[in-house]
Amino acid sequence: MIIKKNISPIDPRHILNSVCKKYDDLNLYPVIAFELEFYLLNENNFKNIKFEQNDFTNVLSITDIEDHEVFFDELHDLCEKNKIPMDGISSENAPNQFEINLKHTSDPLKAADQTILFKRFIKGIAKKHEKRATFMAKPFPNIAGSGMHIHFSLLDKYNNNVFNNNSDIGSDILKNAVGGILDSLKDSTLILAPHYNSYKRLRPGSHAPINICWGYENRTASIRIPGGDYLSKRIEHRVAGADANPYLVLSSVLSSALYGITEKKEPPKPLIGDTYQKKTMQIAQSWDQAINDFENSKKNKKFYFDTFCEVFKNCKKQELEVFNSRIENYELVTYLEEI
């Protein structure tokens, strides 16, 4: 990607802005919404809390939300004052885990800006109420991790949704966008799962996708096409963890979708049922593999600035070396006297 004057090649916001300009040149305009999952924990238990696999979980529980009513009321008020389009709240697949949606916006940069501020608001208000909020991808071993899902539709200059063809399956442009995303998913996993802990979330049967696949109303697939109103036909990208950078995640999603549209990439057949049970290509299951896939990708050199690719790859290699050099307590317990 060519670097223009006054643009930082390693600034995630500048990278996203450069991607948006590519859409502008084609008179296409992405409409974006973020969904964020996180854990809200009591401060005195934050460092030591552990959940067991058989702990009771009431998914979509109103009671769980009411237990944190004061927190959510203050969050709503702060978002309203700062024009952050906070939408629905739901309890998720583990104790004290919640998902909050932000409303769709036709400005991808604003959507990412709002997501960054939103996370800071959640953390700040949590501390005020003697709680702690974490967006760590997998803070506890035996219960669900936290994701950051992207909902994405695409308008033309007449404000028509080009993903819609008044059918359940969607337009050829939608399928091409899906094809581009899937074809690039292996290359961009490091963007979507940037940390050592990220890969503990990406496990079979863990409510996080691991296969490079798509499906209609299939929440086990990496890419889901939600049902509902044809005019709102959209793509849901489900791979990124809540720990990922919103600007970079959105840059990856939009760049790969545009690649699919311009190259008319045909996606594989959509999958029905539990995709964990299907034999398909998988995204990287380890941090080192994701770094290797990112480094060897030719597509990434088209999606991002060369300087960013080099710096990002080197940073992640350095982080990996730090983690690999540590001897953790579990290793000592397992091996110290046994071998």
pLDDT in tens, 232-255: 999 999 999 999 999 999 999 999
Q: What pLDDT score was predicted for residue 51?
A: 47
Tokens 């208000």, residue located: 125
281: left (phi over 0), alpha (psi -120 to 50) or beta: beta
Give, in degrees to the nearest 5, the angle at Cα 211 between 254 and 257: 15
No. of H helices and E strands in the chain?
A: 11, 8
Per-residue pLDDT band at 279 (split at 50, 70, 90)? confident
Q: How remote is the C-alpha of 283 from its chain's centroid?
A: 14
Give me 226's structure tokens: 């939600």
**What one-character DSSP code corresponds to residue 106?**
S
Q: Give mean pLDDT, residues 283-309.
A: 95
CA distance 31 to 53: 38
Per-residue pLDDT band at 4 (split at 50, 70, 90)? low
Which of 316, 35, 331 is closest to 199 using CA atoms? Answer: 316
Which of 139-143, 270-274, 305-309 shows the lowest per-residue confidence on average (mean pLDDT)? 139-143
CA distance 99 to 191: 21
* Residue 50 pLDDT exceeds 60: no
Tokens 């710096």, residue located: 311
* Residue 143 pLDDT exceeds 70: yes
* Residue 214 pLDDT exceeds 90: yes
Per-residue pLDDT band at 54 (split at 50, 70, 90)? very low
CA distance 198 to 242: 9
Q: What pLDDT score was predicted for residue 215?
A: 97
**β-strands 131-134, 148-155: how paired?**
unpaired
Measured distance between the N- and C-terminal CA atoms of the chain, rounded to whole angstroms: 52
CA distance 90 to 37: 9
Mapped to the 3 state alphabet, what secondary structure does 191-205 carry? HHCCCCCHHHHCCCC
Give, in degrees to the nearest 5, the angle at Cα 283 between 282 and 288: 125
Which of 3-12, 99-108, 264-273 shows the lowest per-residue confidence on average (mean pLDDT)? 3-12
- Locate all alpha helices (DSSP H) within 193-305, ordered by sequence: 198-201, 246-263, 287-295, 299-303
Q: What is the mean pLDDT of the chain?
A: 92
Q: Give mean pLDDT, residues 121-137.
A: 95
Dihedral sign of CA atoms 168, 171, 173, 175 in order: positive
Q: What pLDDT score was predicted for residue 53?
A: 42
Which of 181, 183, 209 is closest to 285 using CA atoms? Answer: 209
Which of 215, 212, 303 is closest to 253 using CA atoms? Answer: 303
Tokens 């995303």, residue located: 181
| Domain 12-335, CATH among 1.10.287.3510, 3.30.565.10, 3.30.590.10, 3.90.1150.10 | 3.30.590.10
CA distance 313 to 336: 34
Question: Do residues 282 and 221 make contact, with C-beta atoms less than 8 angstroms apart?
Answer: no
Q: What is the pLDDT of residues 66-113, one digit of tens each?
A: 888 899 999 999 999 999 999 988 888 888 899 999 999 999 999 999
